[in-house]
Amino acid sequence: MAEMQAVIFDVDGLLLDSEAVYRQSWTEAAANQRFVLTHQRYATFIGQRIPWCEEQLAGLAGGDFDLGAFRAAWRVRWREIARQGVAPKPGARELVAALRAHRIPCAVATSSARPEAELSLAAWMADFDAVVTGDQVVNGKPAPDIYLLAAKRLGIDPLRCLAMEDSANGARAALGAGMTVIIVPDLVEPPEEVASRALCVLPSLVAAHAEVLRQLGIDQK
């Protein structure tokens, strides 16, 4: 396997503990219209583009569900929570700092739209050489578009990019782009058909730290 030259990160549920913020804001906004968004239903949205998820939820709710009101309500609630600060996942800042110290090109490829990404990442955006968001591509995850665009903006062959993902759909997108993938699950474990194609599935970014550096050929002595 070729030595990796760059790392591309998902954001929600991987770098940031923001998936829980999305779930809370969506659950509350759905409850405003007397629809119960269960954990199982929400789990089917993880790693997908937001417009698709909104439409799927409206289809599940049926009846007189007001999609426009739902969209407005969850965004207001999301921003209220996110402005208080979205916590990084354990090991996230340390891993990115180590990569920057070794001058490894880094990017993020998130299904979130640009405004949500800017708010949740805040000043941390400056640590990445490219930030690609879901509203910048035609086809969202699990299509490979977002990872291909991130690699293009870094100027690195996708085959030399290591992708870090928490969701099955995100992993499918990176695999479809020809990348080597490490999965660090957040709310849902990946199915075997995805896990078996990944380099490895690890419990945290802390646990992934040494493997990421190894894939980049960085001496850890």
Task: Give, for 181, the enclosing helix (H) or strand (E).
Answer: strand 180-183
- 10 among known catalytic residues: yes
| H runs (alpha helix) in the chain | 19-31, 39-43, 50-61, 67-82, 92-101, 114-121, 145-154, 168-176, 192-195, 205-215
H or E segment and range at residue 161: strand 161-165
Pairing type for strands 161-165 and 6-9 reads parallel
Q: How far apart are CA 20 and CA 86, in angstroms?
A: 10
| Residue 12 is among the residues annotated as catalytic for this protein | yes
Round the CA-based radius of gyration of the chain to a whole number and report it. 17
Cα 152 to Cα 132: distance, rounded to the nearest angstrom:
11
Q: Give the active site residue among 10, 145, 166, 186.
A: 10
- Active-site residue identified among 12, 145, 166, 186: 12
Catalytic residues: 10, 12
